[in-house]
Every structure is written in structure tokens, then in C-alpha cells.
């Protein structure tokens, strides 16, 4: 059951400590962030630096794809990871112990209409984030392009 303590940890989701623990434990720490809320680690390529950048994001598996939301906590600007993948859509992800390459794409309006409710079901706070911003929060589909590998 989710309690107030877990909810107040939300800002830590995107911190380096979360990613380091996730990677060090093959997701044993960090994959399930809160009861029933799961994260993966994206490794994007910086759009200007061209350096790898890692981000932990909430996801939901839909068919063979992984779906994420570029919410940035409901801020009026897109998160850097989303801008990075627009420039370089071939990225690496880690889901639990599995690491693989995906091709990222923003869901079309029709796809978003179907996927958004699934993501809100996974993390209801997305509704608050959308209500708090003027931008339509993008839904991103990550389609695997290579076989999975474990460490």
C-alpha cells in the first residue's frame, strides 16, 4: 500500500542515486518504485553534447513496446530526455536486468488517445501533471530493435 512517505519520494525518481541503485542491482532496487509503479532507465544521447544521458522514467509495457510519458512533473517545458530522443531516437533502455536498444517515437494523436488512459491507470498523478500545464504531455512508444541481454 502506498503511504505518504513513498509519495514524497517522487522527486528522487529522477536522481542519480535511483539510476545507480537500479543499475547496480539489475533493477532489484528501483524497478518497482512504488507499489505497482515501475521504472526503466533510458540512455539517450545529448542533442548538443552527444554524450550519453541517463534518466529513470515510469513505464508500462503494451504488447511488445514500452510506453513512457514525457511529463516533467507537469512543467510547461518538455523534459531533456524527450528532446534528446527527438534528435536521436535510437536509444538504450534497461528494464530490470534486461538491457536492449529501442527506437523511440512520439505517439500519434490516435495512439495517445488509447495509451494515455493506460498510463494514468499506471500512475494517476499524470492526470494532475496534464491539468497543470498548457502543453499536451507527449506519450512515447519505445519499440525494441534488438534482442535483450542481461548483465
Return the pLDDT at 82.
Answer: 96
Return the pLDDT at 17.
Answer: 86
Is residue 146 within 8 A of residue 100, CB to CB? The reply is yes
- pLDDT (tens digit, 9 = 90+) per residue, 8-57? 333 444 578 889 999 999 999 999 988 889 999 999 999 999 999 999 99
Q: Which helix (H) or strand (E) holds 20?
A: helix 16-24
Instruction: Name the average pLDDT for the chain.
Output: 88
Picking from 27, 15, 16, 80, the residue whose alpha carbon sits closest to that of residue 51 is: 80
Q: Where are the domains of the chain?
A: 4-150
Which CATH number applies to 4-150? 2.30.110.10
Chain Cα centroid distance, residue 126: 12
Which DSSP symbol is given to 136?
Answer: P
Picking from 132, 47, 127, the residue whose alpha carbon sits closest to that of residue 85 is: 47
Task: Decide if pLDDT at 140 tops 80.
Answer: yes
Burial code (b: 16+ CB inside 10 Å, e: under 16) for 18-44 equals bbebbbeebbeebbebbeebbbbbbbb
Task: Decide if pLDDT at 151 tops 90.
Answer: no
* Phi, psi for residue 6 in degrees, rounded to 5: -65, -40
- pLDDT (tens digit, 9 = 90+) per residue, 78-102? 999 999 999 999 999 999 999 999 9
Picking from 65, 69, 140, 59, the residue whose alpha carbon sits closest to that of residue 105 is: 140
Q: What is the pTM of this model?
A: 0.86
Amino acid at each position: 500500500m502506498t503511504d505518504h512517505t513513498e509519495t514524497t519520494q517522487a522527486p528522487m525518481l529522477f536522481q542519480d542515486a535511483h539510476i545507480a541503485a537500479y543499475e547496480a542491482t539489475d533493477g532489484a532496487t528501483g524497478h518497482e518504485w512504488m507499489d505497482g509503479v515501475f521504472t526503466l532507465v533510458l540512455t539517450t544521447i545529448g542533442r548538443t553534447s552527444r554524450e550519453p544521458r541517463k534518466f529513470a522514467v515510469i513505464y508500462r509495457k503494451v504488447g511488445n513496446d514500452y510506453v513512457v510519458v514525457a511529463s516533467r512533473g507537469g512543467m510547461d517545458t518538455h523534459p531533456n530526455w524527450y528532446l534528446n530522443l527527438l534528435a536521436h531516437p535510437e536509444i538504450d533502455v534497461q528494464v530490470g536486468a534486461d538491457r536492449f536498444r529501442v527506437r523511440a517515437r512520439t505517439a500519434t494523436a490516435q495512439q495517445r488517445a488509447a495509451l494515455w488512459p493506460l498510463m494514468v491507470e499506471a500512475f494517476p498523478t499524470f492526470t494532475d501533471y496534464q491539468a497543470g500545464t498548457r502543453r499536451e504531455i507527449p506519450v512515447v512508444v519505445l519499440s525494441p530493435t534488438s534482442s535483450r541481454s542481461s548483465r
